[in-house]
Amino acid sequence: MSETDTGAADAGPFAEQQRLFTLLSQDTRHLIIQELLGHPAHLMSLAELEYMTGKSQAAIKDQLETLIDAGLLARYTYDPSEGTRDLPSQFYGFTEQGVEVLHDYKYLRGLPVARALYENTRKTEKIERHESAPRPELPDGVADALEFDEPDLDAVDGGTNR
């Protein structure tokens, strides 16, 4: 019998770390997390996630449900857009537990890089429309954890152009 058959692996001192590592390291889930970190609002529609990850909506939905069930993500609804045909009303974003896990696993260090990658990705007209769609507010604790200071490029240029 293997450890997993006996349940011994689940009872070890590192079981939760192993569970979270597995959760975060699966390819599609990892891409979803990276894209959400890079998005200016940290809330994305299914169409935005599909475009930015290159994965199918079915694959993304499955992984979103896994991340929601684990408490890392939540589904956020922007009610005024529900009846609007061209704008999304459902968005996915982090929970307070999610940003705590991302902090513990050092994902938040990559916020500036994720933002730069997101901003430098060419987007279709539809994705730009989705990106600029109104969305709900993230909980204060989540929004605060995802803030970072943009570098002052004028200060950098000022010191090198002599």
DSSP label of 81: G
List the one residue out of 115, 103, 73, 109 whose CA is nearest residue 90.
Answer: 73
Beta partners for residue 76, in sequence order: 91
pLDDT at 12: 75
- The pLDDT of residue 159: 52
Cα–Cα distance between 117 and 114 in angstroms, integer? 5
In the numeric block, the tokens 């894209």 are attached to: 35
Each residue's pLDDT, cut to its tens digit, for the chain (162 residues) gives 344 444 445 667 789 889 999 999 999 999 999 999 999 999 999 999 999 999 999 999 999 999 999 999 999 999 887 667 788 999 999 999 999 999 999 999 999 999 999 999 999 999 999 999 999 999 999 999 999 877 665 665 655 554
The position carrying tokens 């475009």 is 51
* List of domains in the chain: 25-143 (1.10.10.10)
Specify the amino acid at residue 129.
R
Pairing of strands 43-44, 73-77: unpaired
Q: What is the distance of C-alpha 112 from the center of its chain? A: 13
> What was the pLDDT predicted at 3?
42
User: What pLDDT score was predicted for residue 94?
Assistant: 98
Report the run of H or E that residue 92 belongs to, with start and end.
Answer: strand 90-94
